[in-house]
Amino acid sequence: MKRIILTVLVSVLPIVSGCFRAEENKTRKGGEMKYEVNKSEEEWKKQLTPEEFRILREKGTERAFTGALYDNHDKGTYVCAACGEPLFSSETKYESGSGWPSFYQPLKKESIDREEDRSYGMNRTEILCAKCGGHLGHVFTDGPKPTGLRYCINSASLKFKKED
Ligand SMILES: [Zn+2]
């Protein structure tokens, strides 16, 4: 009898814990409780331009070489266009030739959220603002030293604060 119970437990446990994990992911992805800045779609629409809304809230991408900041070489800080959180410094911006602002590291690791993105048949890592959940772009592993990373960001997801 003991043996049977044990067998049942062993076979059921992984399934149960698997379910819990899936549930946890769902809650995280739902975004309701996750972000410090939570606004309804209507509120974001009022605050953002249509282009910013499409990119930040609907995970869109601006066309390469069309954004306001890919060719910006001034010294300063790049903040989230939706919530103002400082995300990148001009110190880590570099010419990737991609047509999008590219950085090899964020100001703070905690200010960037990562999600697996399997859309368009590609396997990419999406990056989001950790404060408001706004879509920023993707991170790739073909960046320069010292990190080897390329944070490829939409200009529309950023606002630039020039250093005085
Ligand atoms: Zn934000």
Sequence ranges of the domains in the chain: 41-162
Q: Is the peptide bond before 146 cis (omega within 30 degrees of 0)?
A: yes
Q: Out of 127, 149, 152, 158, pick the active-site residue.
A: 152
Are the CB atoms for 54 and 67 separated by under 8 Å? no
Q: Assign domain 41-162 to a CATH class.
A: mainly beta
* Residue 83 counted as an annotated binding residue: yes
C-alpha closest to that of 128 among 96, 68, 87 = 87
19 annotated as belonging to a binding site for a ligand: no
How does pLDDT run across 13-70, given as a tens digit for each residue? 544 444 444 444 434 444 456 899 999 999 999 999 999 999 999 999 999 999 999 9
Per-residue pLDDT tens digits for 72-87 = 999 999 999 999 999 9
Distance from Cα 129 to the centre of ligand 1, integer Å: 5
Specify whether the CB–CB gap between 62 and 55 falls below 8 A: yes
- Examine the residue annotation and report whether 152 is marked as an active-site residue of this protein: yes
Distances (CA, A) of 43 to 39, 40, 84, 136, 164: 6, 5, 16, 19, 32
Q: How far is the CA of 37 from the centre of ligand 1 (A)?
A: 8
**Whether this model's pTM surpasses 0.85:** no
80 labeled binding residue: yes
Residue of 62, 52, 57 lying closest to 37 (CA atoms)? 57
